[in-house]
């Protein structure tokens, strides 16, 4: 194993590999350490990526055979009760033409492996099946490398980038950031359902190579602060559902039961009918928001991506923030390298770039949103039930005058939710996103 390099990166996900690509492009000796058998081996398959931020790292990613599953041309939002729900969608021809690959689905196992190969082709060394157990520090506390589980596996470096995810044992163990509290983390489970390509295109009303994403809110999380999602892949559909880790413990819910119920919902079941379960997995998501972002740098070390709690819970954006933060970390290192100063002050360009970008601006804008969801469980209990009742009553043609139906609906709403509670909910929702 190499005993000395300029930059050691812990984690071969989007943040770590983005940093490695930028550094290798500029001739910096870079080593990426990945504890999985290969990059992507531990990641959930099936999810979305954002072309704009990937193109800043690999401008010709589509021509380089990036393993794209489907180009997303339509985004839908569903609000579901037990027996049905509301659907809102947006589709635009631009996403199949000039804005193609604005968003697209990938299998993370395939994508991460491809992405890591791009970094390797540029000159970075990617070492898999290598677990980093500690940070090396000098007598003044400056990080000067990493300790791995390999024989004689100490690797000294000018700078270390932590990019090993929300459940990074290293970040917590070394005191870089505390272990996240349960309310700051979501537990998501995912099942990948295999279906013929033409069946997926027909059911989601898209042409070959195009797809749809569906974000799902409401009662299917059994009263937890949580969401679901449906992603179309080339020959499979990914179903995701999850909730706040604290809620899982309080309500004593089992993740596998949650996704089994999700699969039988009348709006989900027809989409996957006849499909064959291919994969099942679980994953943590960083949902603490802006208030729980740790210190992002210290002497000789930077923290990026999910490790830094950079996740936009409202828009479900994480991979793009990971790629951007990784590239910003690399650019800050390039500046520090020119000055020969890898102290926290010398690496300050990282924090400056993040603060000037959409990453911190969006995180700050939605800083109240995680707390809003956690405090207002009626979004996942009473409101889905009431909205479902209202929809059924107004759409059922049974000889009852509409005015009478409206009166009955309002009576039930007022019985379940006081006017003060409704106004408080509206005010809190507006404050959380303004």
Instruction: Look at strands 154-162 and 4-10 and give their pairing.
Output: parallel
* 205 burial level (CB within 10 Å; 0-12, 13-18, 19+): exposed
pLDDT digits (tens, 9 = 90+) for 242-254: 999 999 999 999 9
pLDDT tops 80 at residue 291: yes
Two structure tokens written together for 395 = 């759409």
pLDDT tops 60 at residue 7: yes
Share of the chain above pLDDT 90, in %: 77
Q: Please give the Cα distance from 376 to 217 (Å, whole number).
A: 13
Average pLDDT of the residues of the chain: 92
Two structure tokens written together for 249 = 């413990």
Task: Tell me what pLDDT residue 45 has.
Answer: 56
Residue with the larger pLDDT of the pair 81 and 183: 81
Two structure tokens written together for 405 = 């139906």
Q: If we measure between CA atoms, which residue out of 331, 305, 327, 369 comes closest to residue 52?
A: 327
Task: Tell me what pLDDT residue 175 has.
Answer: 75
Give the total residue count for the chain: 434
pLDDT digits (tens, 9 = 90+) for 208-235: 999 999 999 999 999 999 999 999 999 9
pLDDT tops 70 at residue 113: yes
How far the first Cα of the chain sits from its last, in Å, is 51
Q: Where are the domains of the chain?
A: 4-67+107-179+290-356, 183-286, 370-433
pLDDT digits (tens, 9 = 90+) for 268-282: 999 999 999 998 888
Q: Name which CATH class applies to 183-286.
A: alpha beta
CATH architecture of 4-67+107-179+290-356: 3-Layer(bba) Sandwich (3.50)
pTM beyond 0.75, yes or no:
yes
pLDDT digits (tens, 9 = 90+) for 10-55: 999 999 999 999 999 999 999 999 998 888 877 765 689 999 999 9
Q: If we measure between CA atoms, which residue out of 243, 247, 267 comes closest to residue 82?
A: 267
Mean pLDDT of 136-157: 92
pLDDT tops 90 at residue 171: no
Q: What are phi and psi of 405, to 5 degrees?
A: -60, -45
């Amino acid at each position: 194993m190499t005993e000395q390099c300029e930059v050691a990166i812990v984690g071969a996900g989007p943040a770590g590999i983005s940093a490695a690509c930028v550094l290798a492009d500029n001739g910096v000796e870079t080593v990426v350490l990945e504890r999985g058998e290969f990059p992507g081996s531990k990641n959930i398959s099936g999810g979305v990526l954002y072309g704009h931020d990937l193109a800043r790292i690999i401008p010709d990613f589509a021509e380089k055979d990036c393993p794209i599953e489907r180009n997303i041309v339509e985004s839908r939002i569903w609000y579901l009760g037990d027996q049905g729900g509301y659907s809102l969608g947006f589709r635009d021809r631009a996403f199949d033409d000039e804005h193609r690959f604005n968003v697209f689905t990938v299998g993370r196992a395939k994508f991460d492996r491809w992405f890591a190969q791009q970094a390797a082709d540029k000159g970075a060394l990617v070492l898999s099946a290598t677990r980093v157990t500690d940070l090396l520090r000098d007598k003044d506390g400056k990080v000067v490398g990493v300790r791995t589980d390999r024989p004689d596996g100490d690797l000294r470096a000018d700078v270390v980038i932590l990019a090993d995810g929300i459940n990074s044992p290293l970040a917590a163990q070394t005191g870089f950031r505390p272990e996240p509290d349960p309310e700051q983390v979501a537990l998501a489970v995912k099942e990948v359902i295999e279906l013929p390509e033409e069946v997926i295109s027909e059911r989601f009303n898209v042409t070959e190579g195009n797809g749809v994403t569906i974000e799902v809110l409401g009662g299917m999380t059994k009263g937890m602060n949580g969401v679901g999602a449906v992603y179309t892949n080339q020959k499979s559909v990914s179903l995701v559902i999850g909730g706040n880790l604290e809620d899982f413990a309080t309500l004593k819910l089992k993740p596998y039961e949650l996704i089994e119920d999700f699969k039988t919902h009348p709006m989900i079941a027809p989409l996957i009918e006849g499909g064959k379960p291919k994969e099942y997995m679980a994953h943590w998501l960083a949902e603490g928001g802006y208030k729980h972002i740790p210190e992002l740098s210290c002497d000789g070390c930077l923290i990026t991506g999910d490790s830094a709690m950079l996740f936009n819970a409202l828009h479900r954006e994480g991979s793009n923030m990971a790629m951007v933060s990784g590239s910003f970390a690399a650019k800050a290192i390039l500046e520090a390298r020119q000055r020969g100063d890898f102290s926290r002050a010398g690496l300050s360009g990282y924090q400056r770039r993040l603060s000037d970008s959409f990453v911190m601006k969006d995180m700050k804008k939605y800083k109240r949103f995680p707390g809003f969801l956690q405090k207002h469980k009626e979004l996942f209990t009473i409101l889905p039930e009431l909205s479902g009742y209202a929809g059924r009553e107004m759409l059922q043609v049974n000889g009852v005058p509409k005015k009478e139906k409206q009166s009955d609906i309002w009576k039930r709403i007022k019985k379940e939710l006081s006017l003060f509670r409704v106004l408080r909910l509206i005010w809190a929702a507006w404050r959380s996103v303004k």
